[in-house]
Every structure is written in structure tokens, then in C-alpha cells.
Amino acid sequence: MKRYFWVFIAIAIAGCSSNSSKKDAGGSDSLTSVNQGAKSRNSDADTTITKIGTEPTGGESGSDLGRNTIAKSDCNTCHKQDTKLIGPAFKDIASKYPASQANIEKLAKKVISGGKGNWGDIAMTPHPLLSESDAQEMVKYILSLKK
């Protein structure tokens, strides 16, 4: 039984050491070549894809980015653009708050932390995984919807 154990250990060591010593035709490690190839392929990647919780990557105006982020989130479960649902209509929010940087920051924090009291007793669900940047883009879009 011990003999099989030592054979297994020897095979494992030989397998590990052979991977680290492989070189490609240019004399560099194969793994390094693969990583460099992956980096060059990724440099051509489309950077306009927007996901919730990521920083804006460009290619969209603030309103478009905010609208798309809202569309991908659960906001429309409680809010509609023109009519009150569970929470206020987006246009009602835009009418109540001028589109100032102070209001954008305050409302973005409110979206992330949740709470109640500004629009009645029903609490808004917190969104702690939403980045502050995405929350601000969402608020910018909402505040652009003045009646």
C-alpha cells in the first residue's frame, strides 16, 4: 500500500514540474503566451455594456444609462413613469425635486439605503448592491422626466 502512495506522489510531482517547464517556440512560458493572447483579445472588447452595480463605461448619455439601469432593475415593480403604483410615479419625483447635484446625491443614497416617510408609510426596499454611480445615473434619468 505504501508503494502505491509513493508512486502516486512521484507522478504528481512529475506532472507539476513538467507544466512549469514547458516553453513555446519563442522561449517564453506557454501560460504567459496564453495570458498575453487573452489580453490582446480582450482589448477589443465592447465597453458600452452596462450592468447593474458597475461603473458607467461610456457610449450612453446619462439619461440613457439611467433608463437602461432602471429597466434592468426591480424599480418598475413599485414605480411607473406616469402613474403611482406602490411608490410614487417617476414624474412626481421629478416634480418634487429639482435636478441639482445635491438632490441627485441625496436621492441616490436613498435608493441604495431604502426607507420611508417622504411619500407615505410604505417603505422603499434598499438596494445595497447598487453602486452609487449607477444610482446617481438612475436618479438623473428620473429627474429629467419633469411633467
115: which strand partners?
124
Most confident listed range (33-37, 77-81, 120-124): 77-81
3-state SS of the chain: helix, strand, coil percent to 5? 55, 5, 45
The mean per-residue pLDDT over the stretch 12-19 comes to 52
User: Model confidence over 73-110: pLDDT tens digits?
Assistant: 999 999 999 999 999 999 999 999 999 999 999 999 99
Residue 72: left (phi > 0), alpha (psi -120 to 50), or beta? Answer: alpha
Question: What are the two backbone dihedrals, phi and then psi, of residue 79, each rounded to the nearest 5 degrees?
Answer: -125, 145
Q: 58 pLDDT exceeds 80?
A: no
User: Model confidence over 39-54: pLDDT tens digits?
Assistant: 444 444 444 443 444 4
pLDDT at position 10 is 55
